[in-house]
Amino acid sequence: MNEVEWWRLKAGELNALAARNAVVILPVGSTEQHGPHLPTQVDALLAGEVAHRAARRAAQRTPVVVAPTVWSGLAEHHLSLGGTLSLDLATFHALLRCLVRSILKDGFRRVLLLNGHGGNIAALTAIVNDFAIEFDAPIATTSYWLLAADAFGKILERQANVRHACEAETSMLLALAPDLVDMARAQGAVGPTGRELKDAVGTEAAVRYRSFKSRTSHGAIGDPRAATAEKGERLLDAAAEAVAKLVATEEFWTLPA
């Protein structure tokens, strides 16, 4: 099976992929507190894993390569709970701009910023649109759990979709790296433990900054108690399948900009 990881490939192999107009998946995650039972790099790990699985699937239909994972995003709201590395918006923008510019200079044209962190969604949407001012190439973004929302909803028992350090993320970690999960500590990490904005105003359409510390005493939101490795495996595969399908959809890349 062919290698799909940029970091493992040699320059000549990447140049060959560029010549074949391969799609570049750039996973974007975060390193931040993930409750008492999960390690800090969950969002980056999962974005990278979904990208890897998706690339393996898509590679049969279209050339594809996975760039290294951007492991730091917008996580200011986690900083007061410790263990968190966060970028400000301008730096996140500049970092992705340099990476995309490099990818284009390397001869690729199609780039998917595959997001694994809720705090990045809005910024990535704004940023890929801003790139259109500068770059003449299709630069796209998606968040894997939103792309696979239907499948995720069917797999999860206590949540509709991914939250933070929750049934979904814990399950996927149990599938991917069980030694990094402390299920004993997951038992009490059910949240939110504080009052939520949504409850106060009845909608998620109103946005106001809130730290996780003010929302949950332990750092998790969701219910990790129902997590299992088997669910995690199914979630990862569903996400990979959705991303692979997107990557291999020619029209997604060729519809005029």
Q: Is the peptide bond before 192 cis (omega within 30 degrees of 0)?
A: yes
Binding track over 117-146 against a second copy, x by CB under 8 A: --x-xxxxxxxxxxxxx----xxxxxx--x
Is 249 near a second copy (CB under 8 A)?
Answer: yes
Is 30 near a second copy (CB under 8 A)?
Answer: no
Is the torsion defined by CA of 51, 52, 58, 64 positive or negative?
Answer: positive
Residue 92 CB, nearest distance to a second copy (Å)?
8
Closest CB to a second copy among residues 50, 147: 147
Number of residues that bind a second copy (CB under 8 A): 102
In the chain, what is the straight-line distance between the N-terminal and C-terminal CA atoms, in Å?
34
Residues near 130 by Cβ (< 8 Å), separated by ≥ 6? 93
Residues 78-117 that bind a second copy (CB under 8 A): 79, 81-91, 93-95, 97-99, 102-103, 105-107
Q: In angstroms, rounded to a whole number, what is the distance separating the alpha carbons of residues 71 and 99? A: 13
Q: In angstroms, rounded to a whole number, what is the distance separating the alpha carbons of residues 169 and 163? A: 8
Q: Tell which one of 23, 33, 66, 155 touches a second copy (CB under 8 A).
A: 33
Q: Which residues of 63-90 are buried (b: 16+ CB within 10 A; e: fewer)?
A: bbbbbebbbbbbbebbbebeebebbeee
DSSP annotation of 256: -
Residue 208 CB, nearest distance to a second copy (Å)?
4
Looking up tokens 């996973």 gives 27
Binding track over 189-228 against a second copy, x by CB under 8 A: -----xx-x--xx-x-xxxxxxx--x----x---------
Residues near 189 by Cβ (< 8 Å), separated by ≥ 6? 35, 36, 37, 165, 218, 219, 220, 224
Residue 113 CB, nearest distance to a second copy (Å)?
9
Residue 130 CB, nearest distance to a second copy (Å)?
4
Closest CB to a second copy among residues 6, 232: 6
Q: Tell which one of 23, 25, 37, 170 touches a second copy (CB under 8 A).
A: 37
Among the listed ranges 56-64, 70-78, 223-231, 232-240, the one in contact with a second copy (CB under 8 A) is 70-78
Written as six digits, the tokens of 215 are 């929302």
Residues 5-24 that bind a second copy (CB under 8 A): 6-15, 18
